[in-house]
Chain A
Amino acid sequence: MSQDFVRRMPDAGSGFGKRTNWIETIHLDFVLLLLLIVVSLYGMLILYSAVGQQNGPLISQAIKFGIAILAMVFMAQISPIFYLRIAPWLYCLTVMLLVLVLLYGPVINGSRRWLRISGVGGFQPAELMKLVVPLVLAWYFHDRHLPPVSKHIFWTLVIIMVPVLLIAFQPDLGTSLLICVSGLLVLLLAGISWRTVFTAIGAGVLAAPGLWFVMRDYQKARILTLIDPERDPLGSGWNIIQSKTAIGSGGIFGKGLFQGTQSNLDFLPESQTDFIIAVLAEEAGLFGVMFLLIMYILIIGRGLLIAIQAQDTFGRLLAGTITFTFFVYVFVNIGMVSGLLPVVGVPLPLVSYGGTSIVTLFAGFGMLMSIHTHRRITL
């Protein structure tokens, strides 16, 4: 290893040389920051069109980005060691909050998701859990042998299922599924054997038909709508028909910025939130969508690079999981809007209107930056 150190010394671009970058002295990653800002600005432009060129929602979204960036900067300052120490306590606290939600949360639209804090407002503990589950699992595997043995896998699943079930009871099936996926991602990155993975997938496929009988009617309707949106074109099929129409009518280059008829004439529902990719696809066409996808891939690429460069298991697993989870959001959202997946309430990262998801995302990227910028110079 020391040889490595000797050899690296002359490289101006790494090691000590990098530390001279002022932006890294405040523990931020320049490349990731730049990519996030570009996508955020791009998203704000789409949002401006989706809200009918009103300034109000745009300013509100800009403020949320501001808060989110502050959260990111704050998270980046904290050393990974601190995250490692507080991880189990944070997990227990968040699970308790989820229990409180189920007990005392106000019922909004038929589900309990919020906790009210007098004077501050409300927040969703489930949103916090999106970060806490990768965090606690990374902590769990940090001082254990990898690849994990069955006993560890079992305890990992317990750690995952407790919050997943609590959230599923709210009910918020979309979030609980995404948290479950992020937990499983940790297992995958920790090196769980492929045999186990495929066995689990096989069992899941076999169990899938059984799921049909435990699903609620509205969930069944979503599956049926995915298969044939025309079965209820004005009801449950409306959203997906209109979003496909918006996307398809955009063509290669789109109808032009602010010229989308589907969104501006209100045919496209949820055009500012979950279905905003359809606005982009309609107005900027395939090119606009491709640009966004490439930006996402670059962000993910940078995130994975950070994960690979991380110096310990905790940093690697945490950074890798945060990055892959980000992609899961992207894939589920675009897949849902374009009619590949059933409709679940997942916003498009960095683009959809709404504060909570943006703050969570940026906080996650803040942790990524913390992992990257708190590396010991080398070993």
Chain B
Amino acid sequence: MAEPLTLKDHSTERQIFIDRVVIGFGLLLALTAILVARMFYLQIIQHGVYTTLSDKNRIHIQSLPPKRGLIYDRNKRLIADNVPAKILTIVKERAVNIDATITRIRAIIPITDNQIRAFRKRMDGQRRPFESVPLRLKLTEEEIARISVNLYDLPGVEVEARLVRHYPMGAFMSHAVGSVRRINAEDLQRLDQIAYSGTDHIGKIGVEKYYEKLLLGKVGYRRVESNARGKVMQELDKKLPVPGINLTLHVDSRLQAVAIDALAGRRGAVVAIEPSTGGILVLVSNPSYDPNLFISGIDRKTYSELRDSIDVPLFNRALQGQYEPGSTLKPFLALAALENQVINADYTIQDPGWFKLSNNERLYRDWNWTKNSPGGHGSVNLQKAIYRSCNVYFYQLAVRMGIDTISEYFKLFGFGRNTGLDLPEARNGLLPSREWKLKARGEAWFPGDTVNIGIGQGSILVTPLQMATAVTVLANRGRWVRPRLLMNTEIMPVSGSGRMPITNVPQWDSRNWETVIEAMSMVVHRGNQGFGENGTAWAYIGRGIEYQMAGKSGTAQVVGIKQGEEYEAEELDERLRKHAWFVAFAPVDEPRIALAVLIENGGGGSKFAAPVARQIIDEYLLR
């Protein structure tokens, strides 16, 4: 310490210190002002921004999916119900790593690639923040247990309870009511994803699809406050979902059961309609499938079995099966001929068992021709031509009317188009005309084509629904009702207007209707007159019947029979045998039910299809 020769100048040191403190304090105030300015900026200028951020942190909207509308049959029996099921969901915002999470879940419970695809599509699509997205539906008890013990390790994964569609009648009603399927990737592209948030299924077929808007209901939501770990602390407000509307169908499940029993496992279809309303009482396509299989994702094996089965259970024969109508077409042709004044009711021919066009050598046989007997029905008038189903008579009628007139009249009964009100999947069948043949086959229409149309064969195709509809119009003596499944909803009556206005068949001479209908009741009731004079169906259904039924059988060839060859059912493969048709309505005077029965490869219509029709009508009218 060499320097302290000079004395410490306390006064100066103190002054320097005070200066420094004053400057320091000024600096301190300036820095404090910066802090205040910062707070002012955050708390006042940016207040709105941060309030939003803070709310977004804590407030989340959860969807409350609506309860899908129930579907009842006309006796208020439940066809489509909702049952609680456990599903596995993931909330993206809480899952740290989606891929890793899925991989870990897959190690615990089975999940298919399809399910992951649908999940990803939904995850990436329009979605509210913190909305859970389903990965697996319908967990089994065991799966729930296995997932639950691992939940601590799977952030964002939850087991949620949801209502899932259930069809208590199973396969029994599947073709009548349709079904829902899980929403898939393609659906998501066109759906309003907010309306479907929290909903896992959508109507894919039938009534479920057609009335999707009514059945779905309106999604509700609740706003909840949750903490940083996603735990819901309280509910702030909520808007309850509006449940879907319950539907009541015209379908009579008991009658449906009788029809399925009556088919006794044979492939075929039955459509029965209430003539006063057009309500579909029975819509059976056999074989069928259990729609419940599809709800939570069907496994590949079961699906390919259903899809590849030779009996095509997934195919709705009643709406989409297109068959030659055979002789069931004859009453309509007769009506057209009468109205068109090609003939009158007394017009009589001598039936030699064959028909020949004037400039052609080909013989068109009657159905009772065999190699050993020329067949034919002798003297045949219009009514006999119907109750005996005389082909030669109708060959002549057809040729005399010509295809143009025939097409025009058939169209009035709904052939060649879909007249269903809520049956968009129904097919149009095929009503041939000159223009159609030129367009479809590039050929002119030949008179020989018209001959075959006379007995409902050749290029004409109809669906069982179309056949039942035509018979309904017949039963109503020309008054049209459009076939429909929906009877009513709880909120509104069903309006009769549809996409396509259907006009009644013009008010024809009522005697013509009665002539044909009388002939059709003879098909069923005219008996004990000897083989050549009995109604074709009498032997099978006409005995002991307590009401008046009008009917007509039909037998449609599946394979062409060569000129001069005989049809031998026993020699043919079962799948090549003729289709059996029977159309009927009853009671004749005040019809309450009209129906069409088709049995694929069933054989003769009177023998095989008519008894099915009688069982259904018996059940409906007499129970």
Contacts and interface: CB of A to CB of B under 8 A. Distances in A.
- A in complex with B: yes
Interface of A: 143-147, 188-191, 241-242, 244-252, 261-262, 265-267, 281, 285-286, 289-290, 293, 297, 300-301, 304, 307-308, 312-313, 316-317, 320, 324, 327, 331, 334-335, 338-340
Contact of A248 (B14, B29, B49): B49
Nearest 4 pairs of A and B residues by beta carbon: A248-B50, A249-B54, A265-B227, A191-B16
Contacts of A144: 4
15 contacts: A143-B4, A189-B24, A248-B47, A249-B47, A265-B58, A265-B227, A266-B227, A267-B57, A289-B43, A293-B35, A307-B17, A308-B17, A313-B8, A316-B14, A331-B35
A113 B70 CA distance: 70
Given A145-B6, A252-B47, A304-B25, 4 more contacts: A147-B16, A251-B51, A297-B32, A307-B17
A265 B51 contact: no
B233 interface: yes
Contacts of A251: 43-44, 47, 51
Given A147-B16, A189-B17, A304-B21, A338 B53 contact: no
Contacts of B40: 286
Nearest to B49: A248
Interface in B480-518: none
Contacts of B50: 244-249
A191 B19 CA distance: 9
B228 A145 contact: no
A145 B8 contact: yes
Interface residues of B, number: 43
B28 to A, nearest CB: 5
Interface of B: 3-4, 6, 8-10, 13-14, 16-18, 20-21, 24-25, 28-29, 31-32, 34-36, 38-40, 42-44, 46-47, 49-51, 53-54, 57-58, 225-229, 233
A261 B35 contact: no
Contacts of B16: 146-147, 191
A126 to B, nearest CB: 25
B25 A248 contact: no
Contacts of B228: 265-267
Given A189-B20, A340-B38, A265 B233 contact: yes
Contacts of A300: 25, 28
B58 to A, nearest CB: 5
Contact of A191 (B20, B28, B29, B49): B20
Given A304-B21, A304-B25, A248 B43 contact: yes
Contacts of B57: 242, 245, 261-262, 265, 267
Nearest to A151: B3
Most buried by A among B6, B17, B38: B17
A308 B21 contact: yes
A276 to B, nearest CB: 15
Nearest to A266: B228
A246 B57 CA distance: 11
A352 to B, nearest CB: 16
A187 to B, nearest CB: 10
Given A244-B42, A252-B43, A252-B44, A261 B58 contact: yes
A254 to B, nearest CB: 9
A285 B42 CA distance: 10
A290 B17 contact: no
A248 B20 contact: no
Most buried by A among B9, B44, B53, B225: B53
A281 B10 CA distance: 45
B39 A338 contact: yes
Most buried by A among B31, B39, B53: B39
Nearest to A249: B54
Contacts of A281: 39, 42-43
Contacts of B13: 146, 191, 313
A246 B42 CA distance: 10
Nearest to A241: B53
A266 B25 contact: no
Contact of B28 (A261, A327, A338): A327
A188 B28 CA distance: 14
A219 to B, nearest CB: 23
Contacts of A335: 34-35, 38
A292 B95 CA distance: 40
Nearest to B40: A286
